[in-house]
Amino acid sequence: MNYTLDDNIVKACAGIVGADIKKEPYQSAIEKAKKSIGTDFAPGAQREREKLIDAIKLNLTSRKKNPIAALICAYNIPATYHQFLNEKHKFCYELAKNLGMI
C-alpha cells in the first residue's frame, strides 16, 4: 500500500508524537497506529516491535538528531533502512487516519 502523505500532515504527526499528548483522541490514535507497526515480524518478536516503535517515534520527533541508520544500529532493529522508512510512513498514515486528518 502507498502511505504517501502531505508534508504538513507528517509534520502534524511528528508534533503529536513529539509533544507526547496524553489526552484523547490523541492517545488512543497513537496506540492504534502502534498496532500497525511490525506486523510482519515473527509472532514472538514483541520486543523488536516495541524497539521499532520507539525508534520511529524518535525519528519523527527529530530526523536530524535521530537518523534512521543510527536508530537501526542503536536499537538493534531487524530491519533495513527501507523497511524502517516504510513502517514509519505506515505509522504516520495510520495516526493521521485515526485522527481524521485524511
For residue 42, the model assigns a pLDDT of 81
Residues in the chain, overall count = 102
Please state the domain extents for the chain.
7-98
Q: What is the pLDDT of residue 43?
A: 80
In Å, what is the CA distance from 1 to each residue of 12, 63, 69, 89? 21, 23, 23, 10
Give pLDDT < 50 ranges for the chain: none
pLDDT given for residue 41 in this prediction: 83
- What pLDDT score was predicted for residue 21? 83
Q: Is the pTM of this model over 0.85?
A: yes
